[in-house]
Amino acid sequence: MADSAVTSEDGQDGEETRRDFLLISTVSVGAVGAALAAWPFIDLMNPSKDVLALASTELDLSGIEVGQAITAIWRGKPIFIRRRTASEVDAAKNVKLAELKDPQSDADRVQKPEWLVLIGICTHLGCIPVGNKSGQTKGEFGGWFCPCHGSHYDTSGRIRKGPAPRNFEIPPYKFLSDTTLFIG
Amino acid sequence: MATPTWNNPVIKWVDDRLPIFTFVQHSAIDYPTPKNLNYWWNFGSLAGVILVIMIATGIFLSFNYTAHVDMAFDSVERIMRDVNYGWMFRYIHMNGGTMFFLIIYIHIFRGMYYGSYKAPRELLWIIGVFIFLAMMATAFVGYVLPWGQMSFWGATVITNLFSVIPFVGNDIVTWLWGGFSVDNPTLNRFFSLHYLLPFIIFALVFLHLWALHTHKSNNPLGIEVKGDQDELPFHPYYTIKDLYGLGVFMIFFMGVTFFAPNFFGEPENYLPANPMVTPAAIVPEWYFLPYYAILRATPDNFVDAWGILPVIIDAKTSGVILMFASILLLCLLPWLDRSKVRSATFRPIYKQLYWIFLADCLVLGWIGANPPEGMMLLIGRIATFWYFFHLLILLPLVPYWEKTKELPESISAAVTANGEGSKETSS
């Protein structure tokens, strides 16, 4: 009421200011409300609690001989686990980093030199490379070969030849014991 | 109404090719609205808002719902427990149905009180009745989706209504089910229809608004707008009034959603559907109760108690006919009510009949929630009789002896002139 007393006579300007204030505050409150209401819509599409509960995998490695590999599933993706031979480990260690497309030393890619754990998805366009089963071609570098567009990976899962831009990704994992692997 | 000129070059470019900004300016901003609308006129825009809320939450619920008899119930429980904010979406959607019907009933009874259905707004009213019917269909198929006991048995009972159609009734029921009982094919098609129907409602709402904007809003006096002095632009006068009403409504809606989310629900529906066990009492959601009461009101052969007609109409058939008639009759309301005066304010007899009719509908709702026995059955029959007596007999005849009050000169005259004591005139 005090405001209207000030602007009562020909207070067109004052009236406009009051109206502007109301408009701006209404729109602001509405915008904040809309933003807050948007969050549940966004979050509903995120992984739900039951999906997150299945987001880790535990594996028993005791049956894998030296030179063998298995494919496990973690978060719907193939995980390559290869128990490398001494010569494969040496081959991986002896590569000069300068020769690599995505330079990374073998020591940075494993926790125990014998065990190589990778997400088995080609970094080119998402195919699953071959070379994990006995009898499959392992590519020119003794690791894996992606039949989709011809990418070759070495015994450390690094890209050596072909269109893929990066090495195989390493999932987060830890050894719970000598023969138990926890991924996730 | 002058065509607006646009300064922003992008808006101008678009508007030259598709005059959408001009359309919005005309129909939501400059739109001339009677200046005497009261808060009962908020419920149209509220219904629009709740429709959008229902569609938005429904689409997001469907991301996580599985329409299969073995998984539907569990998928709803997963929404409640595991999906982020799933509980909130389901409770908003569940109580949103209740709110939608509450708003629509108020909207309908507002139209009845102020005679909004009368010429030239008959079609506007009829489209509204069709929106109401589409809402009922949507709510019914939607209630089946959680696949609880009430879902299953409600679906069984309501689809069986169609068995009263002569000769082909049972075939039609089988056709509706896609099998020999309510089962997986039924659930699948109901889910599809529950997704489709809201968009049909949305399209009907556009027709409703198109018809509304052709002759503009009725008003509490029920008299025609005489000129600019009787009107206000929709924005800001009614945008702010609608927003205020929306705020009050949301407090109520969110209050129920967060503090009493199962108040309007039926606990039985938290039991998974079991085709071998019927619940002790099958009760529809509250918004269907009056129709449920009408469905169960009639006795066998009540049309022809003297046995003159060659066919016998049993209680089931007459109940179904009366139930559908009770809704479809509303389409004829503009012609059943023969008074030229719209607003009940100026119709002393109709005004009383209106309140009796409203009470009658509430009584029907109360009867619908109780088993049809003893006094309940008798009261249900009297209330059903009154429902049709009001629509078919009283509305056409009352204007012949009702003395209506004198109508104001205009909307502005009603508040500016000194009242000289209203003269009674005959209709």
Residue of B nearest to A19 (CA): B236
- Whether residues A144 and A159 share a domain: the answer is yes
What residues of chain A have any CB closer than 8 angstroms to a CB in chain B? Answer: 23, 26, 40-41, 43-46, 48-51
| Residue at A3 is within a domain | no
- Scored b (16 or more CB within 10 A) or e, B363-382 reads bbbebbebebeeebbebbbe
Shortest Cα distance, chain B CAs vs residue A43, angstroms: 6
Query: How many of the other CB atoms lie within 10 Å of CB of B205?
Result: 18
Distance CA B227, CA B236 (A): 19
Mean of per-residue pLDDT scores for chain B: 93
- This model of the complex carries an ipTM of 0.83
Distance CA A170, CA A121 (A): 11
| Residue at A17 is within a domain | yes
- Whether residues A16 and A98 share a domain: the answer is no
**CATH number for the domain harbouring residue A126:** 2.102.10.10
Give alpha helix (H) positions in chain A: 2-6, 12-44, 49-53, 86-93
Place of tokens 């825009």: B45
| Residue at A30 is within a domain | yes
The answer to whether the beta carbons of residues B30 and B1 sit under 8 Å apart is: yes
Place of tokens 């999932």: A171
Q: Which of B84, B91, B239 to mutate: most A Cβ within 10 Å?
A: B84
Domain ranges of chain B: 35-224+233-275, 283-301+312-420
Distance CA A42, CA B287 (A): 32
- Whether residues A42 and A56 share a domain: the answer is no
For residue B217, give every residue at least 6 positions away whose Cβ sits within 8 Å of its Cβ, in sequence order, or none. B33, B34, B37, B41
DSSP code for B272: B
| Residue at A29 is within a domain | yes
* Domain region containing A99: 51-183
pTM above 0.90, yes or no: no
Shortest Cα distance, chain B CAs vs residue A3, angstroms: 20
| Residue at A71 is within a domain | yes
| Residue at A84 is within a domain | yes
The answer to whether the beta carbons of residues B44 and B107 sit under 8 Å apart is: yes
Q: Is residue A9 over pLDDT 50?
A: no
- Whether residues A87 and A40 share a domain: the answer is no
Distance CA A55, CA A73 (A): 10
Question: Which residues of A carry out catalysis?
Answer: 149
Q: Chains A and B: how many Cβ contacts under 8 Å?
A: 36
Of A23, A26, A46, the CB nearest to B84: A46
For residue B311, what are its two tokens? 């066919």
Q: Is residue B423 over pLDDT 70?
A: no
Distance CA A158, CA A156 (A): 5
Q: Which of B83, B253, B254 to mutate: most A Cβ within 10 Å?
A: B83
Residue pLDDT, tens place only, B209-220: 999 999 999 999
| CB-based contact A49 B84, cutoff 8 Å | yes
Mean of per-residue pLDDT scores for chain A: 88
Place of tokens 């290869």: A82
| CB-based contact B83 A41, cutoff 8 Å | no
Tell me the residue length of chain A: 184
Place of tokens 């129709």: B291
Q: Is residue A15 over pLDDT 50?
A: yes
**pLDDT mean over B299-326:** 80
Residue pLDDT, tens place only, B165-187: 989 999 999 999 999 999 999 99
The answer to whether the beta carbons of residues B152 and B282 sit under 8 Å apart is: no
Residue pLDDT, tens place only, B25-71: 999 999 999 999 999 999 999 999 999 999 999 999 999 999 999 99
pLDDT-wise least confident of B86-100, B270-284, B309-323: B309-323
| CB-based contact B89 A44, cutoff 8 Å | yes
Question: Which residues of B carry out catalysis?
Answer: 213, 217, 241-242, 285
| Residue at A14 is within a domain | yes
Give the domain B35-224+233-275 fold. Cytochrome Bc1 Complex; Chain C (1.20.810)
Tell me how many domains chain A contains: 2
The residues that bridge with A72 in the sheet, in sequence order, are A79
Residue B149: name the closest of B282, B293, B27, B3 by CA: B282
Q: Is residue B77 over pLDDT 60?
A: yes
The answer to whether the beta carbons of residues B160 and B151 sit under 8 Å apart is: no
B100–chain A Cβ distance below 8 A for any pair: no
Residue B265: name the closest of B83, B89, B97, B152 by CA: B97
- Whether residues A24 and A104 share a domain: the answer is no
Torsion of CA A136, A140, A141, A144, to 10 degrees: -40
| CB-based contact A40 B81, cutoff 8 Å | no
Distance CA B106, CA B44 (A): 9
Rg of chain B, C-alpha, whole Å:
24
Of A23, A26, A43, the CB nearest to B84: A43
Residue B354: name the closest of B57, B116, B65, B183 by CA: B116
- Whether residues A158 and A143 share a domain: the answer is yes
| CB-based contact B85 A43, cutoff 8 Å | yes
A148: three-class secondary structure by DSSP = coil
Per-residue pLDDT band for B425 (boundaries 50, 70, 90) equals very low
Q: Determine the residue type at B219.
A: N
The residues that bridge with B96 in the sheet, in sequence order, are none
Shortest Cα distance, chain B CAs vs residue A50, angstroms: 6
Query: In B, which residues are within 8 Å of A20 by CB distance?
Result: none
Residue pLDDT, tens place only, B360-388: 999 999 999 998 888 999 999 999 999 99
| Residue at A1 is within a domain | no
pLDDT of res. A133: 87
Per-residue pLDDT band for A71 (boundaries 50, 70, 90) equals very high
